[in-house]
């Protein structure tokens, strides 16, 4: 699980340029076409392509029986999806905003995650829950969490994040194909990003495989979702200064590709995690903990760049921008880590 690649050999399909939103739509469409057990459910999923337009055309192509609008009752429709998953279906549930996941916390933590285990392995739960999260949209505290670490403690779940069109397509298809329950986190600020997508099941990396976004030698940066996107921009800004960042997008938070991350840190000797969440109890802390336990010789102490102090996301636009790691703050953190002077605080 330790070789990283962005694109995969073994696929004869050419990559197509599309947006992240279109990539999600393509993954859903290709899964629904390949397997009639795949069924979508959630609030407004069938209404004009869904609130984020990720489901465009699906109800028209596959019918109302396979793209179902639910009432507003997350705990119940996730629980119902569990019942479907153990009786021959492969449901994909959409939670409109990742902030709403706690509304379904019981169904996810106590039922979905534990179901196979409590049954002594009698069933598997091929269920996917997609949720859309993240800040910068000025949506306020209850519509801005990424949610990616909310359920990290729940063994029995797999958790994935999508940071680019290619990884959105690949991760979502891998999640739907997997026999276990997977939470997939998308970021609303990434929907317009363009990138190449290989629309082929054969091109999809295995579950748990991290993505090497950028090769580098001075420091390993681990980042997900919008932070991966911003880190890439920061890396491009730092390259002419002679600071060469290696960027790893873990893609999967559960199970996480720790061998790949550790191998990279072993080469660069420096670790920075960039996360759009508080540090406590998040995946960033898990990465740093594992690197510390591994005994890898480091050239500098590991650093976490998280939400500014222990805050929540405000509505106020300049304050929202101030609390979420920006390209500038990532540049400054990388400079500090590599030992360079920081020109702005």
Partner 1 sequence: MMADAERRPVVDDSRLLTWLRKMVEIRLFEERVQELFMEGLIQGTTHLCQGQEAVSVGAVEALAPADYLTITYRGHGHALARGMSLESAFAELMGRSTGCCKGLGGSMHLADFSIGLIGAFAIVGAGVPVALGAAVSSSARRRDSVAMTFLGDGGTNIGTFHECLNMAAVWKAPLVVVVENNLYGEYSPLATTTAVTDIAERAGAYGIPGVIVDGQDVQEVHRVAAEAVARARAGAGPTLIEAKTYRYRGHSRTDPASYRPAGELELWKQRDPIELLSTTLVERGVLPAEGGARLREEVQRAVDESARRAAAAGYLDLEEMKACVYAD
Q: Which is nearer to partner 1, 94 or 180 (CB)?
A: 180
- The alpha carbon of residue 231 and the mean position of all alpha carbons in its chain are separated, in whole angstroms, by 15
- The alpha carbon of residue 300 and the mean position of all alpha carbons in its chain are separated, in whole angstroms, by 28
CA count, 13 A, side-chain hemisphere, 130:
32
Of 19, 136, 179, 326, the one binding partner 1 (CB under 8 A) is 179
Residue 238 in tokens: 């730092």
Check if the beta carbon of residue 306 is closer than 8 Å to that of residue 282: yes
Q: Does 236 bind partner 1 (CB under 8 A)?
A: no
Question: How many residues bind to partner 1 according to rule CB under 8 A?
Answer: 45
Q: Which is nearer to partner 1, 19 or 76 (CB)?
A: 76
Q: Does 343 bind partner 1 (CB under 8 A)?
A: no
Q: Does 84 bind partner 1 (CB under 8 A)?
A: yes
Q: Does 122 bind partner 1 (CB under 8 A)?
A: yes
Q: How many CB atoms lie within 10 A of CB 71?
A: 7
- The closest alpha carbon to 77, from 129, 134, 22, 7, belongs to 129
Q: Whole-number minimum distance, CB 313 to partner 1, in Å?
A: 27
Q: Does 61 bind partner 1 (CB under 8 A)?
A: no
Q: Which is nearer to partner 1, 78 or 304 (CB)?
A: 78
Q: Does 45 bind partner 1 (CB under 8 A)?
A: no
Q: What positions carry a catalytic annotation?
A: 74, 143
Cα R_g (the chain), whole angstroms = 20
- The closest alpha carbon to 143, from 106, 191, 189, belongs to 189
Q: Which is nearer to partner 1, 123 or 311 (CB)?
A: 123
* Kind plus residue range of the DSSP H or E element containing 11: none
Q: Does 124 bind partner 1 (CB under 8 A)?
A: yes
Kindly indicate which of the ranges 21-29, 71-79, 188-196, 280-288 contains the residues binding partner 1, using the contact rule CB under 8 A. 71-79
Residue 21 in tokens: 């939103």
Kindly indicate which of the ranges 118-126, 142-150, 326-334, 335-343 contains the residues binding partner 1, using the contact rule CB under 8 A. 118-126
Q: Does 75 bind partner 1 (CB under 8 A)?
A: yes
CA distances from residue 183 to 2, 171, 202, 252, 293 in whole angstroms, order as listed: 23, 10, 22, 10, 27
Kindly indicate which of the ranges 5-13, 74-82, 140-148, 321-329 contains the residues binding partner 1, using the contact rule CB under 8 A. 74-82
Q: Does 118 bind partner 1 (CB under 8 A)?
A: yes
Q: Whole-number minimum distance, CB 242 to partner 1, in Å?
A: 44
CA count, 13 A, side-chain hemisphere, 283:
31
Of 3, 47, 119, 141, the one binding partner 1 (CB under 8 A) is 119
Q: Does 67 bind partner 1 (CB under 8 A)?
A: no
Q: Does 257 bind partner 1 (CB under 8 A)?
A: no
Q: Is 206 exposed, middle or buried (0-12, 13-18, 19+ CB in 10 A)?
A: exposed
Q: Read out DSSP for 226-276?
A: HHHHHHHHHHHHHGGGT--EEEEE-SEEETB-HHHHHHHHHHH--EEEE-S
Check if the beta carbon of residue 153 is closer than 8 Å to that of residue 196: no
Kindly indicate which of the ranges 110-118, 229-237, 269-277, 313-321 contains the residues binding partner 1, using the contact rule CB under 8 A. 110-118
Angle between helices 165-177 and 20-34 (to 10 degrees): 30
Of 18, 28, 95, 125, the one binding partner 1 (CB under 8 A) is 125
Q: Does 70 bind partner 1 (CB under 8 A)?
A: yes
Q: Which is nearer to partner 1, 202 or 339 (CB)?
A: 202
Residue 257 in tokens: 């590709």
Binding site for partner 1 (CB under 8 A): 39, 65-66, 68, 70-71, 73, 75-89, 91, 106-107, 110-111, 115-125, 155-156, 158, 178-180, 207
């Amino acid at each position: 699980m330790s070789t990283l690649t962005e694109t995969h050999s073994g696929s004869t399909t050419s990559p197509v340029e599309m947006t992240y939103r279109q990539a999600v739509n393509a993954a859903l469409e290709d899964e629904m076409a390949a397997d009639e057990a795949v069924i979508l459910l959630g609030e407004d999923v069938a209404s004009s392509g869904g609130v984020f337009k990720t489901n465009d055309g699906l109800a028209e192509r596959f019918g109302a029986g396979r793209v179902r609008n639910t009432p507003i009752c997350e705990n119940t429709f996730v629980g119902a999806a569990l019942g479907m998953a153990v009786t021959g279906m492969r449901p994909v549930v959409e939670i409109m905003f990742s902030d709403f996941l706690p509304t379904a916390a019981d169904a996810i933590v106590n039922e979905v995650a534990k179901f196979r285990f409590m049954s002594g392995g009698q069933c598997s739960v091929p269920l996917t829950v997609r949720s859309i999260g993240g800040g910068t949209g000025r949506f306020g505290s209850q519509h801005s969490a990424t949610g990616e670490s909310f359920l990290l403690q729940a063994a029995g779940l797999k958790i994935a994040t999508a940071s680019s069109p290619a990884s959105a397509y690949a991760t979502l298809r891998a999640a739907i194909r997997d026999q276990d329950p997977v939470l997939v986190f998308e970021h609303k600020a990434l929907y317009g990003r363009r990138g190449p997508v290989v629309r082929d099941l054969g091109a999809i990396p295995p579950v748990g495989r991290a993505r090497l976004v950028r090769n580098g030698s001075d420091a390993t940066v681990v980042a997900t979702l919008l932070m991966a996107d911003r880190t890439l921009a920061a890396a491009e800004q730092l390259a002419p200064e002679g600071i060469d960042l290696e960027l790893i997008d873990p893609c999967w938070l559960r199970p996480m590709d720790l061998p790949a991350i550790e191998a990279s840190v072993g080469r660069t000797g420096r670790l920075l995690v960039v996360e759009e969440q508080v540090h406590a109890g998040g995946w960033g802390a898990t990465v740093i903990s594992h690197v510390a336990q591994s005994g890898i010789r480091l050239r500098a102490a590991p650093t976490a760049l998280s939400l500014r102090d222990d805050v929540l996301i405000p509505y106020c636009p300049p304050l929202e921008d101030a609390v979420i790691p920006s390209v500038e703050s990532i540049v400054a953190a990388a400079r500090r880590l590599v030992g360079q002077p920081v020109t702005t605080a």
